[in-house]
Amino acid sequence: MQKKEYKTKHGNPYPPGSKANSGGVNFSIFSRYATHVELLLFESSECEEPFQTITLQKETDRTFFSWHVYVIGLPVGTWYTWRMDGPNQPHELGLRFDSEKQLIDPCAHAISDKRWSREAACRPGNNGKTAMRCVVADEHYDWEGDTPLRISSEKAIIYELHVGGFTRDPSSQVTHPGTFVGLIEKIPYLKDLGISHVELLPVMAFDEQDVPRGTSALGLKNYWGYSTHSFFSPHPGYCVTPELGTHIREFRDLVKALHKAGIGVIMDVVFNHTSESGDKGPIINFKGLGGNIFYHLDKYDQNIFHDYTGCGNTVNANHPLVADFIISCLEYWVKEMHVDGFRFDLASAMARGDGGVVLQDPPVLWGIELSKQLAKTKLIAEAWDASGLYQVGSFPGYRWAEWNGKYRDTVREFLRGDKGLISEFATRISGSSDLYEHQGRLPISSVNFVTCHDGFTLYDLFSYNQKHNDANGEENRDGCNNNISYNCGVEGPTDNLEILALRKRKAKNVFAILMLSQGVPMILAGDELLQTQQGNNNCYCQDNALTWINWHKVDQNADMLRFVKMVIAFRKRHPSLMRRRFLTGKILEGRDIPDISWHGTELNKPFWNDPEARLIAYTLAGVQPHESDLYIAMNMSDQTLTLQLPGIEGKYWRLAINTASNSPHEIFEFQDQPMVDQLTFNIQPYTVIVLENNSHQG
């Protein structure tokens, strides 16, 4: 049966994208230089031919640079694409219109990539049989009173995870592995772990086919998702029924369920580049609408894409129209999807203006910071790009937190046993005041991490001295060469029990240091289970057991998981570890001790200038009534050292953490902590200890 043709009338330029109401659907799309525009309507996501093609008229269906039409009676669930004609002058104008190429709507709220061929989109001409499709999405949803959470940043503990990899392994035993729905089934695990936020690797729709040719030849795909093309749409690969356009509902179900468990949602977003790559890349949307606006192009030959991201192109984020697109997109995810925050991949690329010049006050970054809709939203910058711009400690704005790469590197060096780092290490675990205090920023400006998706897992950090990325198909050229790792004596797997015990102790040291540091700790999913990637430090293309969480490890490494849960709970029990202001070394009001006192093996004699030192110790005063004071020491030398402990009149020290001991004696519940009956303590090599005085707290 032939589908009916729908009548049309003049549409509205706002809002962009497709918007349904009781009478039909309004379509609006931006293209300044298009001369001919067609809207194609499809019965399903897999139909090869449209059931209706609507030609827009410049005289009646264009307002300024927006093309728009209202389709009367068109139902929700209708699929669509666009076709546009205009100048095809990439060298002179940076424009590459192709009247046969089907384009997806940059503002579509749901897309299907089931028939997608990246290769076909890279060639000139008709790609209708292999193009992506957009759908007129059903926006109705019962939030049941849900709103974005307002968890104070000093209380945040971030858990970085990959939606697909978290449940895709059969050991997850979820109903729909690798999906938003599958992740919902694991919320009890996340809640029991004690984290406050999940930070989801990219969940905006991305191109899984965007990998190098050699990688693709091995049957590998873009797994991490740093290849976005549709910034308003959840990724269809994480949906159970994307062919029905259920993207919005499935993502909202996840957010609502996480919020009910008290867990916030931070999205990893990629506004520095898109999946359209450079001049040889595919035409998906922005290139076919007006690439000279959306991308940084060479001034003299606009066929050349300036690449500050290492991904073939760089989004021209500070162009007024692009900045508005980015800010509107973020506001959509907060207002309509209830997201609690964003982590911006290669955020420093967004600080660049014309010609790649680094702007002192980038309009897009200030626009994000000052948006009323985003006022309570967490903003986290990866404060560097792939062309040498490194802005850790100097990222534009005040609300922004930063992935603290200096914290990561210093902690790794200290854990490896490097000498003479005591002063630098003390600064990092105290919130990196050297980076943030002079700007009027706070310890919460520092997102502290030792591992993340990009690089070795925690277990591999102490199992490999070199990367082992041969499985990626790039002859081990990809991935970082400077891992600041230490294999503990053997490269990779071993049966040596002493080495295995040392690796586990070092992993526990990492979690202890993270939870004892001022700032916002971030954990990589799977590290609490000692997940390995077999030395691969760049698993961007490995959608397989190499990266999937192995849930059998919950039992296999139960002692490690127990330690992580308990050290997280320990942090949450001590406001002194979650300070909103920097430590001063001055006497606290109402107390007779400073907020922090630094030591070496002897009291008040830290090894600031000792080039051989690998030990740091300090006393941290409780900041609330009845909060215990803490004595903390970290010995990364190969020697057992005798520590002098501070006396505490009328109280005594109790042992809370000692990573040199075997489970379950490496960490204790408050009521079970053994008393330390001397004012000395022998700390073993490669060990973190924490003592707690006997103030009564629950």
Task: Catalogue the active-site residues.
Answer: 345, 382
Per-residue b or e along 676-691, where b marks 16 or more CB atoms closer than 10 Å to that residue's CB: beeeebebebbbbbbb
CB 296: neighbour CB atoms within 10 A? 26
Q: Two tokens at 651? A: 């109280």
Angstrom distance (rounded) from CA 656 to CA 697: 14
Distances (CA, A) of 517 to 185, 407, 408: 31, 10, 12
Token pair belonging to 625: 């009534």
Q: Which pair of structure tokens corresponds to residue 287?
A: 């290139």
> Do residues 595 and 430 make contact, with C-beta atoms less than 8 angstroms apart?
no
CA distance 294 to 317: 7
Using an 8 Å Cβ cutoff, are 689 and 618 in contact? no
- Strand 204-206 to strand 197-200: parallel, antiparallel, or no bridges (unpaired)? unpaired
| CA–CA dist 319, 520 (Å, integer) | 32
Q: Are 653 and 693 in contact (CB under 8 A)?
A: yes
Report which secondary-structure segment, H or E, holds 240: none
Residue 102's nearest CA partner among 132, 124, 137 is 132
Dihedral sign for Cα atoms in the order 538, 222, 319, 266: negative
CB-based burial label for 235 (10 Å; 0-12, 13-18, 19+) = buried
Residue found by looking up tokens 């290849």 in the block: 227
In 3-state terms, what secondary structure has residue 15? coil
User: Please, where are the H alpha helices in 268-319?
Assistant: 286-294
Distance CA 346, CA 353 (A): 15
Q: What is the distance between the alpha carbons of residues 478 and 539, in angstroms, rounded to a whole number? A: 10
What SS3 state is found at 505? helix
Q: How far apart are CA 615 and CA 560, in angstroms?
A: 24
Nearest to 373 by CA among 342, 415, 396: 342
**Token pair for residue 196?**
């406050």
Which residue bears the tokens 């854990």? 415
Kindly state the DSSP code that residue 145 receives in the 8-state scheme.
T
The torsion angle over the Cα atoms of residues 519, 601, 574 and 263, rounded to 10 degrees, is: 40
- DSSP per-residue codes, 324-381: HHHHHHHHHHHHTT---EEEETTGGGGGB-GGGPBPSS-HHHHHHHH-STTTTSEEEE
Decide if 407 contacts 393 (C-beta within 8 A). no
| Distance, CA of 345 to CA of 380 (rounded, Å) | 9
Question: In DSSP terms, which residues pair with 81 in a beta bridge?
Answer: 40
Name the one residue in this structure whose structure tokens are 């209706």: 52
